[in-house]
Amino acid sequence: MSEIKKSLNFLEQIVEEDLAKGMERSKLKFRFPPEPNGYLHIGHAASICLNFGLGIKYGAPVNLRFDDTNPEKEEQEYVDAIQKDIEWLGFEWAEVLYSSDYFQQLYDWAVRMIKDGKAYVDDQDSKLIAEQKGTPTQAGVNSPFRNRSIEENLDLFEKMKNGDFNEGTHVLRAKIDMTSPNMLMRDPLMYRILHRAHHRTGESWKIYPMYDWTHGESDYIEQISHSLCTLEFKHHRELYDWFLDQVYDAKDVRPKQREFARRNLSYTVMSKRKLLQLVEEGHVNGWDDPRMPTISGLRRRGYTPTSIRDFSETAGIAKRDNVTDLALLEFHIRQELNKVAPRVMAVLDPVKLVITNYPEGQEEMLTAENNPEDEDAGFRTVPFSREIYIEREDFREVANKKFFRLKLGKEVRLKNAYIIQANDVVKNENDEITEIHCTYDPDSKSGSGSEASQRKVKGTIHWVSIDHALEAEVRLYDRLFTDEAPDAHKDKDFKEFLNPESLKKIDKAFIEPSLATATAGDSFQFQRLGYFNVDPDSTNEKLVFNRTVALRDSWAKIQQKK
């Protein structure tokens, strides 16, 4: 009885109810249907984790279906990137399929609908058609072409297909009900003419099916049992079902559309159109810029598949729209890296410190623990010498009692090394400190067990030996937008809220020499600073690091102070 049963989300409950009503378990099948018009983002991850998670839970297949009915916007680059990201997240699809594989079948069904008097060719332009649609409170009016003969419809539809007409001159519409309270049921478009090359079907098609006509039928062709989509499709469900009615055969599985709330994340935008704008206008350096909410951006930033999956799990699947705090995503990666990331020392804003009583030319290798959170992580050695760098902000000539770092006349411990006391400073003509002069207590070496080593001092600071340190570039990231919901302002463009300080580059940071062998993707905790990973921009000469996340969530505090 000790087993804790996790409560089911409402979509799992729907599946359970269907099984209870007699649906065979072996008939369960799901799909993830991205349009290949951009890179996947953290919102897509919610849908991926949901669909593939159901697949794992019920031992059911999950198809990856590219919903590729918009030749203008779709590209192979996106198809490849999407597959890479899903695999990286750790999921396996049953089949990779394309809506474009069904163009012929969809066309044949449309012809059948024309023959059944359920579809017609309209010669009006989109503006007129829109005007005749009416409003939610006012019925639409029938198109003058609504009742043309089946023969004429068949002839025109074939000509549309053959490319005999210009774009925008004709559309195929379902003949449903221009007075329906659901505007989507007022003779929706099924096909439009587009003389564009498609990334897979090339020049073969001059007409392309609309989303509503394609999606449900594709689900049916693949025999998807539960077609899960986001809330904005709720009103489409009636049409989804109507289109299914036109082709459904009782021996088959009848797909069921159900809706859940989109994942929104604070301080970013999630629409692919907007993300594309950021890329094309150069506000970020590509789709995988570490500030982007894309899966590829998060990967480059140092996020792991588990942290993203855990985040999706914690954030959950909701019935109503909501905004998830970015801090929750950061919490998950911080928690994971705390367990697995090796600790190292790096100094981002260096000031020179000379230990005047340490013999010139002497050096020693000190032992340092790789990860106190992981017993198996072992130890490494760190070189120590007379001249070291510390962070400029870790020293003050005078400071109050709350300043636990180094100040004149007081002691601190150098991490993994000795206790030092600051005695003096050297300044330049601008009154800036260029050197701090200290003395060390030779008996206070960390881990030596001596009485002096166990002496309590208030603070511990990190450092690197100047002679041994490597130079590195460090990229510090902050939120991409200064506003919690940058695209929720009616009168302002979301780009007005871009954070001008979202990237701060430090060209010359110093890191301990054990990092010489680090390679792209490796993650570390820079002690007292945060978690950092090696960026692919690194060269043999110089490593480049991204700050994945700070050690603590400082954002909330900064906001309070404002």
The binding site for ligand ATP (CB under 6 A) comprises 33-35, 43-44, 46-47, 67, 229-230, 262-263, 270-272
* 34, interface contact from Mg ion, ligand ATP, none, CB < 5-8 Å by kind: ligand ATP
Three-state SS at 193: strand
* 170, interface contact from ligand ATP, Mg ion, none, CB < 5-8 Å by kind: none
Looking at beta carbons only, is 37 or 142 nearer to ligand ATP?
Answer: 37
Looking at beta carbons only, is 211 or 555 nearer to Mg ion?
Answer: 211
Closest CA to 533 of 542, 546, 549, 519: 546
Look at the alpha carbons of 109, 110, 115, 116 in this order and tell me if their dihedral is positive or negative: positive
Provide, rounded to whole angstroms, the least separation between the CB of residue 277 and ligand ATP: 12
> Is the distance from CB of 132 to CB of 140 less than 8 angstroms?
yes
Looking at beta carbons only, is 208 or 384 nearer to ligand ATP?
Answer: 208
Q: Which of residues 21-40 bind Mg ion (CB under 5 A)?
A: 35
**Distance separating alpha carbons of residues 275 and 261, to the nearest angstrom:** 20
282-291: long-range contacts (C-beta < 8 A, 24 or more apart)? 283/495, 283/498, 284/480, 287/38, 287/39, 287/81, 288/39, 290/475, 290/477, 290/535, 290/546, 291/477, 291/480, 291/502, 291/503
Q: What is the DSSP letter of 403?
A: -
Looking at beta carbons only, is 86 or 368 nearer to ligand ATP?
Answer: 86
* 47, interface contact from Mg ion, ligand ATP, none, CB < 5-8 Å by kind: ligand ATP
DSSP string, 493-555: -GGGGB-TTSEEEEEEEEE-GGGGG--TT-EEEETTTEEEEE-TT--SS-EEEEEEEESS--H
Residue, CB closest to ligand ATP: 43
* 44, interface contact from Mg ion, ligand ATP, none, CB < 5-8 Å by kind: ligand ATP
DSSP string, 200-236: TTBTS-SEEE-HHHHHHHHHHHHT-SEEEEEGGGGGG
Active site residues: 35, 262, 272
- The residue written with tokens 């993650």 in the block is 523
* 53, interface contact from Mg ion, ligand ATP, none, CB < 5-8 Å by kind: none
Provide, rounded to whole angstroms, the least separation between the CB of residue 36 and Mg ion: 11
**Distance separating alpha carbons of residues 173 and 186, to the nearest angstrom:** 9
Residue, CB closest to Mg ion: 35
For residue 354, what are its two tokens? 């000379």
Provide, rounded to whole angstroms, the least separation between the CB of residue 232 and ligand ATP: 8
Provide, rounded to whole angstroms, the least separation between the CB of residue 176 and ligand ATP: 24
Closest CA to 170 of 151, 155, 185: 155
Provide, rounded to whole angstroms, the least separation between the CB of residue 99 and ligand ATP: 11
* 263, interface contact from Mg ion, ligand ATP, none, CB < 5-8 Å by kind: ligand ATP
Looking at beta carbons only, is 47 or 548 nearer to ligand ATP?
Answer: 47
For residue 422, what are its two tokens? 């600051």
Provide, rounded to whole angstroms, the least separation between the CB of residue 96 and ligand ATP: 14
State the distance between the two ends of the chain, measured CA to CA, in whole angstroms.
Answer: 51
Looking at beta carbons only, is 397 or 487 nearer to ligand ATP?
Answer: 487
Residues that bind Mg ion in the complex, under the rule CB under 5 A: 35
